[in-house]
A and B are shown apart, each in its own frame.
Chain A
Amino acid sequence: MPDLSFLLLQTLNGLASASSLFIIAAGLTIVFGVTRIVNFAHGSFYMLGAYFAVTLIPRLFDIDRSFPIFFAGVLLAALGVGLIGVLMELVLLRRIYRVPELFQLLATFGVVLAVEDLVLKIWGPLDILGPRAPGLRHAVEILGHRFPAYELFMIAMGPLVLGLLWLLMHKTRFGVLVRAATQDREMVGALGVNQALLFTGTLFLGAFLAGLGGALQTPKLAANPHMDISIIAEAFVVTVVGGMGSVPGAFLAALIIGQLQAFGILIFPKITLVLVFLLMALVLVLRPWGLLGRPEAGHGRVVLPEGILGLKPFGPAERILTGGLALILVLLPWVGDSYLTKVVIEVLCFALAAFSLNFLIGNGGLVSFGHAAYFGLGAYGAGLLVTRLGVPMEPALLATPVIAGLGAALFGFFVVRLSGIYLAMLTLAFAQITYAVAFQWVEVTGGDNGVVGVWPSRWAASREVYYYIVLLVSAAAILVLRRSIYAPFGYTLRGARDSVVRADAIGIDVRTHRWVAFTVAGAAAGLAGGLFAFAKGSIDPTLISIPMSIDFLVMILVGGIQTVLGPLIGAAFFHSIKDFFMPLTFYWRLLLGLAIIAIVLVFPRGIVGGFESVKARVSRAGARQGGERAGA
C-alpha cells in the first residue's frame, strides 16, 4: 500500500515534468496559433537550447560560479535559439507563406534533418552533461523523502513562464496582435498590421521558449543528439490536448500529462510508450478542439482550397511522359541490374502509399499524420499470416487491404468527426497506438525485433517475377484510386473539402463520404504495406512509426499535393535521392534535409506543381502572343 508521503512526492515529480513540458509546448502553440505552421523544427530548437547551454554555462562559470550566472547562461542560450528561429523565418518560411500551409511543414522537416546532422558534426556524438545549477545541487527533505531542490525550482518555473506570457499577451501591443492573429489572421492583415514583423517576432518567441526549455533541462539530463525526436511528439500532444494556440490550455494539458506519467508508471510500468497518445485520442474524441481550444477561425468559412483543383485530361505532353515511364517500368528488369529493380520495387510500394495519402489530403482535405498505421497494418497482416499461420503469399496479400481497411474504418469513424490540425493529430494518436501494440505485444508481433521470414511464394521468389507482381498490383490500385478521384465520388470529396457548409447544404453526407474515403485510402496503403513486407522479408514497428508517416507526407509534398500524379513523382524522387545520398556520406540526413529545403524554395508547389505552373506560364504566353496576332 503506497503511503501518503510517497503519493505527495510523486505529485511533485509530476509537477516538475509538467513545467518542462509546458515551457516547450507553449512556444509550439504560440507559433502554430499565429502562423498555422506545424513546426517540426521545434524539437530541434529545444535540442539546440540544451547544446548552447552546456557550451555556454561552463565558460560563464569562469567568471563566477553562482546561480545568477547560471540563469543568465540559460537565458543567453534561449536567446541564441530565438535568433535561430528568426533566421529560419527570414530565410525560409517568409518565402513560402503564400503556398499551402502543409508545405511549410515540409520546410521545417528539412530543417530537422539538417540540424540533426549539424549537431553531430559540431558537438560530436558523445552526450554532454552540463553543470548543475549552483545553489540548487542539493536535495530537500520532504516528509522523509529527498527531493531535488532544482525540481522545486522547475515546479515554480512553469507558472512563472505562464504568468510572464500572460502579461506579454495582455499588456503589450505585440501580445495583443499575437492573440488577434491567433483568432483571425486575415482580419489582422486587413487592418494593416505588418504581418511579416509579427511572424518574425512570433518565431523568435517560439524558438526562445523551446531553447529555454532545452537549456533548463541541462542540469538534469545530458545534451544528446536524440533530444529533438524524444520531445517533439510529446510537445505536440500537449499543445493539441490543450487546444492549439491556447497557452493556458497547454499549461493544463502539461499538468495532466505530468501527473498521468508519474502515477501511470506505478500501475503499468510498460505503459510509457503509449500513455500520452491514449490521452490525446481520448481528449480529441470527446473534445474536438482540445481542452481549451476554440474552433478554427476558418471553420465553416470558404477558404482557399489546398489540394487538387481542376482536373484536366492528359494533354499530349503528359501522355508521352506517362507512356514513356510505363515503358521504362515494364522493361526495367532487362535494362537495370537487380539492385535497381529492388529500389524500384520499394518506390512502387511507396508510390501507392503516397498516392493513397494524397487521395485523403489533396482530394479529401483530410490531413493524416499517421498514414503509416495502415501501411503497417497491411505489412503486419501479411507478415503474421505468412509466418504465424502458414498462409501462402497470395491470400495473405489479398487480405492486406481488408485488414488495413478494417483498421482505417475503425479509426476513421472517430477521425472524420474532426477537422484540420486536430484531425491530423488524432490520426497520429491512432498510429502511435497501433505502433505501441506492435511494439509491446511481443508474443504475437515479435516486439521491436519484428518478424523475419516474410518471403514470397516459390513461384514469385525471383526478383523479376516479384517486381512484375508489385508493378501490376500497385499500378492497378493507383488506377482505381485515380478513377475515383475523377468520378463523382472524388468531386464530392473535393466539394466537401472546399466548403463543408455548402456541401452539407446541397444534401451531401460529408461525414460518411469522408469515412469511406478514409477506409479506401487505408486499404490501399495496407496493400502497399503488404507488397513492401514481401519485398523486405521482414516486418517491424518502424513500418508504423512516426518517421514513416512523415516520409509519406514528404513524398506527396515534394511531388505536389495539388496534382493527381505528384505523389508518384514525389515518392520516386524522395526514395531515389535518399538511396543516392546514403552511400555517399554518413551525413546523408544533412544532404536530404538541404535537398528538401531547396525543393521547398525552388518548387514551392512540389515538383509536379512546378511543372504545371511552368506549363501554364508557357501556354499563357502562347495565348498572349496569339491574342496580339489576332489583334494586329
Chain B
Amino acid sequence: MFGKRLLQRSVMAAAVVVGLAATSEAVLAQGEPVKIGELNSYGRFAAFAVPYRNGMQLAQDEINAKGGVLKGRKMEIVFRDDGSTPGDAVRVAEELLTREKVAFLAGTFLSNVGLAVADFANQKKTLFLATEPLTDAITMAQGNKYTYRVRPSTFMQTKMLVEAVKAKGIKKWAIVAPNYEYGQSAAANFKKLIKIATPDAEIVGEQFPALGKIDAGATVAALENMKPQGIFNVLFGADLTVFVREGNTRGLFEKRTVASLLTGEPEYILPLGEETPQGWIVTGYPWEEIADPAHKAFVAAYRAKYNDTPRLGSLLGYVVGYMMKDLLDKAGSTDTDKLLAALNDLKVNTIAGPVTMRALDHQSTLGAWVGETTIKDKKGTMKNWKYEDGAKYVFPEAEVKAARKQ
C-alpha cells in the first residue's frame, strides 16, 4: 500500500525535478533574459528582505519596460531564500549557478552568510554583489577579487555617528550592543573612532546582551549605574523596542546623548511608534522628507505598486537593481571578467546620489542619512538630517592595503 503510493509519489517528484533541470539547461542565447541570482533571508528576516525584494522587483520592471539590458535583453532576477545559515546559502548559490545558470550572484543579509557566499564566489570565480551584510571583513580582511559590497559598512556608519556627536565633546560613553559580530565590531569601531575624535573620551562600561534575548531591565539598570554622559547603541529590532521602553520608563535617556546605529531606518523606527525616543543621533532613511524628484518618483511608484511605504530595504533593492543594469550595460556581456572590469570604479547615479564602486576595496560609496529622531503624526521619523556621502567615510587607502591580501 504505502510502498506503492510512495513509489508513485517519488516517480512524480523525480519527473518534476528532471523537467525543471531540462528547462534550465536551455542554452542562453542572444535575446534570452539575463538571469541574476539573488539570495536573501526572505523568511527569517522578512522585515528587511521583503521590502528589499519589492524594491528590486520595481527596478527590474522599470528597466525591462524601458528596453531591458544589454541592448534589448530582459533582466530576470531569480529570488531564493538563503535559509539564513551559511550552509544552506552556499547550496542555494550553487543551485542558482548550475541549474538557473545565473550570470552572477547578489544579496544575503547576515554577515556570516555573506562571507560564506563571498568565499564560494571566489572559489567558483563568479561575481558576488553582497548588498546588505554590514561586516567590515567582507571588503577588508576577507575581501576577495569577486566580491563587492553595496551598503555602507559598520565602520562607515559608526564613523558618521562619531562625526555627528563630536561637537558635543562628550567624555564618558557607555556601549550597548548585541552579542555577535555586528555588535562587537560596531563597539570596537566606536571605541577606536571616538578616541580619535575626542582624545580624552573614556568608555565607562559595555553591555552585550544576546541577540533577541535582551534582559532589558537588568541591562538598563547596569547602564544607568555606569553614569555615562553618552550611550552608543547598536541594538536593533526586537531588542531595541524593549530597550527603549525600559529606558524611557527608567529615565535612562534623560539628559544623555544617545548615538544609535540604524535606528532611523523605517524597519526599526516604525515599531516604536509614539514611544520613539526623541533627539537620538541616528543613521537611517527619512524617506518621506527627501525632496529629490527621482526619489519622490520612486516613492510614488513603490506606494502605487505595493500599497506600502518604502523601507531602507526597498531603497537598497531599487538602487541595486539599477546598479546591475549599469553594470551589465557597461560590461556589454555577462562574462565574469568583463563584469569585474566594469564594476571596478563603476559610477552609478542612484536616487540616493552618485555612487562609485571603489576598485580599491570593492566597497560602494553609497551613503546613509544621519539625523535626530523625532515624532511626527505619532510615528517615529528623523529631523535635521543630512545625507552623508559614503565616499567621505570609507576606509583610508593605507588601511585597506594592509588588510586586504591581494
Question: Which residues of A does B touch, CB under 8 Å?
Answer: 2, 6, 9-10, 13-14, 16-17, 117, 120, 124-129, 132, 137-139, 145-148, 150-151, 219-222, 224-227, 229-230, 234, 261-262, 265-266, 269-270, 272-273, 337-339, 342-343, 346, 439-440, 442, 447-450, 452-453, 455, 532, 536-538, 540-543, 547, 579-580, 582-583, 586-589, 602-603, 610-611, 614
Contacts and interface: CB of A to CB of B under 8 A. Distances in A.
A148 B47 contact: no
B137 A537 contact: no
Interface stretch (B179-187, B334-342, B367-375): B179-187
Contact of B3 (A342, A452, A614): A614
B91 A579 contact: yes
B246 A220 contact: yes
A614 B1 contact: yes
B43 interface: yes
Given A449-B115, A449-B181, A221 B216 contact: yes
B368 to A, nearest CB: 21
A343 B90 CA distance: 11
A230 B213 contact: yes
A337 B91 contact: no
Interface string B246-289: 10011100000000000000010011110100000000000000
Contacts of A582: 80-81, 83, 88, 92
B43 A449 contact: no
Interface stretch (B158-166, B204-212, B320-328): B204-212
A453 B119 contact: yes
Contacts of B205: 269
A269 B208 contact: yes
Interface in B108-150: 111-112, 115-116, 118-120, 123, 135, 137, 142
Given A126-B267, A129-B245, 6 more contacts: A126-B271, A129-B241, A129-B272, A221-B216, A270-B179, A541-B112
Contacts of B170: none
Contact of A586 (B43, B86, B271): B43
Given A339-B94, A448-B181, A588 B219 contact: no
B143 to A, nearest CB: 11
A224 B211 CA distance: 13
23 contacts: A2-B225, A13-B217, A127-B238, A127-B271, A137-B249, A139-B251, A219-B245, A266-B225, A269-B206, A270-B208, A339-B99, A439-B180, A447-B181, A448-B111, A448-B112, A448-B180, A449-B111, A537-B90, A537-B119, A537-B123, A540-B86, A540-B112, A542-B85
A16 B218 CA distance: 10
Contacts of B206: 269
B355 to A, nearest CB: 26
Nearest to B254: A146
B217 A16 contact: yes
Q: In the complex, which range does the number of interface residues on chain B fall in?
A: 35 or more
B88 to A, nearest CB: 7
A573 B271 CA distance: 40
B221 to A, nearest CB: 5
A226 B106 CA distance: 25
A452 B218 contact: no
A592 to B, nearest CB: 11
Contacts of B246: 148, 220
Contacts of A148: 217, 246, 249-250
Contact of B86 (A234, A536, A610, A611): A536
B33 interface: no
Contacts of B88: 582
Contact of B219 (A6, A229, A265): A265
Contacts of A450: 86, 112, 115-116
B222 interface: yes
A356 B265 CA distance: 47
Contacts of A229: 212
A392 to B, nearest CB: 17
User: Mostly helix, strand, loop or mixed at chain B's interface?
Assistant: helix
B224 interface: yes
B188 to A, nearest CB: 10
Given A221-B241, A272-B208, A126 B219 contact: no
A455 to B, nearest CB: 6
B98 A339 contact: yes
B216 A272 contact: no
Given A2-B225, A542-B86, A221 B245 contact: yes
Contacts of A272: 179, 208-210, 213, 215
B95 A273 contact: no
Nearest to B43: A586
B15 interface: no
A537 B47 CA distance: 30
Contacts of B213: 230, 234, 272
A66 B148 CA distance: 54
B169 to A, nearest CB: 26
B242 interface: yes
B245 A117 contact: no
A262 B45 CA distance: 29
Nearest to A575: B91
Contact of A220 (B86, B210, B242, B250): B242
A222 B207 CA distance: 21
Given A126-B270, A588-B43, A611-B3, A542 B238 contact: no
Interface string B211-237: 011011111011011000000000001
A449 B267 CA distance: 24
A440 B210 CA distance: 11
B46 interface: yes
A151 B181 CA distance: 31
A127 B241 contact: yes
Contacts of B207: 265, 269
A151 B249 CA distance: 11
B21 interface: yes
Given A222-B238, A230-B213, A343 B91 contact: yes
B43 A587 contact: yes
Nearest to A21: B215
B87 interface: yes
A6 B221 contact: yes
Contacts of A543: 87
A333 to B, nearest CB: 13
Nearest to B239: A221
Contacts of A536: 86-87, 90, 116
Contacts of B123: 455, 537
Nearest to B220: A13
A442 B215 contact: no
B141 to A, nearest CB: 10
Q: Which 6 A-B residue pairings sit nearest by Cβ, starting from the closest?
A: A125-B46, A452-B119, A221-B242, A13-B217, A586-B42, A125-B47
Interface string B14-30: 00010001000000000
Contact of B221 (A9, A125, A138): A9
Nearest to A453: B119
A337 B21 CA distance: 9
Interface string B42-53: 111111001000
A120 B42 CA distance: 11
Contact of A146 (B3, B116, B249): B249
B249 A338 contact: no
B373 to A, nearest CB: 15
Contacts of A234: 213
A586 B49 CA distance: 11
B47 A611 contact: no
Contacts of A610: 2
B358 to A, nearest CB: 22
Contact of A342 (B81, B91, B251, B271): B91
B294 interface: no
Nearest to B206: A269
A614 to B, nearest CB: 5
B13 interface: yes
Nearest to A126: B47
Contacts of B184: 442, 447
A17 B250 contact: no
